[in-house]
Every structure is written in C-alpha cells, then in structure tokens.
Amino acid sequence: MNEQTAHPDEQPLVWIVDCEQWPRASLRAELIERGYDTVGYIALGPVLSALHGTSTRKPRVLVVDLRGQSVAEPDFEKLATADVPIVLIGGSVELQHPGVAVRKWAAVLKRPITLGEIADEVRRIIIASRP
C-alpha cells in the first residue's frame, strides 16, 4: 500500500503550526493532495503538550512556522527532545533566534518559500525515515 492509497490511520501524519489561517490551510491542502494525513495548529503550546503526552498519535513530521509565534528557549528545548523530525520555517529575524542555531532540526527553511518546496521537504523527511 503506498502513501496515496493507505488507510487514514496508516497515512503519514504531519502536524502544521502556523498562526495564520490561510497559509496553514493551504499547506494542509497541498499535503493532503500528496497523500498525507494532516492536522493544523494555531499555536505551539498545545503541540508541545501533545508531543510529550501519551494519548495522541504522534506525527511523522512537525512543520513549525515561527512567524507570529512566541517561542522561548524552553520551547525550543521541548521541540528538540520530542523525537519527531521538525521543519522550522522563518524569515531572517525568526531564524536568528539562538534556539534555532544551537539544535539539530530535520530542516530549516527560510522565507520566501513555496508550499510545494515545503511539501517536498516533508516528503523527503518521511521517505528518509522509513524503517
């Protein structure tokens, strides 16, 4: 069974954090079209709780757009220890945060970037992480 025909519970799950509705919805649509199960979040707080909880199906990839997010150093630490590949997206200012530079992320993408480029990166990470 490939990603396109997999049952929803078997499709790779991608979580998207973006405080802006339309970019979040557009990326979700692009990923759904490519065969991924996606969940969108407005803020990072609920995601951090869910990542470190036990009752939620964990994503194969987490995409975090840093624009408009209030991310403190402890938040970067929680992200880094989540055992989930993380794609960070930001402009020059957001990517200058010390928490970005001192940790290993699956990808750090600088804006401007297209939805297709983000989706391609998610696909690359999912393919590379297959058992």
* pLDDT one-digit tens code per residue, 14-57: 999 999 999 999 999 999 999 999 999 999 999 999 998 887 89
Among 66, 73, 68, smallest CA distance to 99 is for 73
> pTM of this prediction?
0.91
Domain that holds residue 69: 13-128
Decide if 1 is inside a domain: no
Decide if 73 is inside a domain: yes
> In Å, what is the CA distance from 13 to each residue of 21, 30, 35, 59, 97?
19, 13, 10, 5, 28
Task: Give the residue-averaged pLDDT of 64-92.
Answer: 94
> In Å, what is the CA distance from 25 to each residue of 20, 22, 30, 74, 81?
9, 5, 9, 28, 27
Bridge partners of 62? 15, 86
Decide if 2 is inside a domain: no
The backbone torsions φ and ψ at residue 6, rounded to the nearest 5 degrees and listed phi first, read: -70, 150
Number of domains, the chain: 1
Domain with residue 82: its CATH number is 3.40.50.2300
Which tens digit of pLDDT belongs to each residue from 111-124?
A: 999 999 999 999 99
